[in-house]
A and B are shown apart, each in its own frame.
Chain A
Amino acid sequence: MNVNVALKEDVRPEARTIASEAGPAPKRIVVGYGFWIFLLSDIVMFAALFAAYAVLAHATAGGPGGAQLFNQVSVAIETGCLLASSYTCGLMSLAVGSQRRFRTYAAAVVTFALGAAFLTLELREFAGMIAVGATPQRSAFLSAFFTLVGCHGLHVTVGLIWLAVMMLQIAVKGFRATVERRLLCFSLFWHALDIIWVWLFTVVYLMGVHS
C-alpha cells in the first residue's frame, strides 16, 4: 500500500493528464463540489438577511437599541466556543481521513459540546432580551436581529443533529465511502457557519455596541 502511494507521488506533474481530459471526477470531489455550491447559496441567503439588518439597524421605533441589549462578554464566549468547535471539527476530519475511530469520536464529542454551549448561551441571551420586552414584535431592528441571529442559531442546531447522526452512522456502518463523504460535507457546513458567525459578531454585536 505504502509502496503504491510512493509510486504515485513520484509521477512528475507533466506526465499527468489535466483535469478536463481525465473523464468524470471521483464521487468524493463531485459531492464536495455540489455541497460547496449549496453552502454558497446559503451564504447568499444570509447576505439578504444581513442587508435587511443593516438597513433596519437604526429603526428601533423608540425601543431598546443594540448598545443597551448586547452583552459583549457573552458574545466573546460564544465566539470562542464556535471557533474552538470549528478547530475540533478540523481535527475530526483528520481523524476520519486516517480512519481512527476513537479520535473521531473524541473530536466529535468536543465539537458537539462546544456547539451546544454556544447554542445555550445564545438562547439565554434571547430569553433575557424577551424578558425585558425586546421581542421581535417591538421594532423593525429587533425583527431583523432575531431573524438573522436566529437563522444562524437554527443552522447550528441542524449541524448538531447532523453530527449526532453521523456518529451513529460511524458506529453502525463504519468508515464507508458514503459515510466519509457525508462527514466531508458536515465539516464544510460547520466551517461555513463559523465564517457567518465572524460577520455576525462584527456587524451585529461589535458595530451595534460601538455606534
Chain B
Amino acid sequence: MTETRYDRAPGDGFAPANVEEEPGSGVLIYTIGLLLAVILTAISFWVANTSLLWAPGVSLGLTALAIAQMGIHLVFFLHVTTGPDNTNNVMALAFGVLIVVLVVAGSLLIMADLNESMMPAELMNLHMQH
C-alpha cells in the first residue's frame, strides 16, 4: 500500500486532517499559544508605560515584541510550520511579508526623505510673495 503525501492546508492541526489526534494535544497547543501571547502582550503594555527603559529604544522593543507575538500566533494558532508539507503556505507567507515590508518601510523612508528635503516654512513664505 503506497500512501500519497499531500501538502497540509493552512490552519490544519499538527496531525493530518483525517487522522484522529490524541484528545487534549490540540487543546494543549492552543493553550500554550494563548499563555505565550498573554505574556508578550503584558510585556508590551509594561514596556510602553515604564520609565525604567531608555525611551528612544521603546518603539524598537515594541516592534520586536509584536514580531514575536505574530510568530506565536502563526505557529500555535495558524499551525504554520517548517515541515515539508507546509512549504506552499510558508512561501506564500514569505511573499506576503516581503510586500508588507516593502510597502511600510518604503513609505516611511520616502516620506521622511521628502520631509527632510522640504523647503523650510519661512523660506516657502518668502518664495510665495514673489
Contact = CB atoms under 8 A, between A and B. Distances in A.
B119 interface: no
A7 to B, nearest CB: 7
A55 B108 contact: yes
Contact of B4 (A23, A40, A44, A87): A23
B111 to A, nearest CB: 5
Given A48-B103, A194-B73, A40 B96 contact: yes
**How would you classify the secondary structure of chain B's contact residues: helix, strand, loop or mixed?**
helix
A174 to B, nearest CB: 18
Given A32-B9, A194-B73, A17 B4 contact: yes
Nearest to B6: A25
Interface stretch (A8-16, A130-138, A149-157): A8-16
Nearest to B68: A198
B3 A8 contact: yes
A90 B28 CA distance: 11
Contacts of A32: 9-12
A199 interface: yes
B81 interface: no
Contacts of A91: 27, 30
Contacts of B73: 86, 191, 194-195, 198
Contacts of B41: 79-80, 83, 198, 201
Interface of A: 2, 5, 7-9, 11, 13, 15-19, 22-23, 25-26, 28-29, 31-33, 35-37, 40-41, 43-44, 47-48, 50-52, 54-55, 72, 76, 79-80, 83-84, 86-87, 90-91, 93-94, 97-98, 184, 187-188, 191-192, 194-195, 198-199, 201-203, 206-207, 209-211
- Shortest 5 CB-CB contacts between residues of A and residues of B: A32-B9, A40-B96, A51-B107, A206-B48, A16-B5
Interface of B: 1-13, 17-21, 23, 26-27, 30-31, 33-34, 37-38, 41, 44-45, 47-49, 55, 58-59, 62-63, 65-66, 69-70, 73-74, 77-78, 84-85, 88-89, 92-93, 95-96, 99-100, 103-104, 106-108, 111
Given A72-B45, A94-B27, 19 more contacts: A8-B3, A11-B1, A16-B2, A17-B2, A19-B6, A40-B95, A51-B103, A72-B49, A79-B41, A86-B77, A90-B26, A91-B27, A97-B17, A97-B26, A188-B78, A194-B77, A202-B63, A202-B65, A207-B59
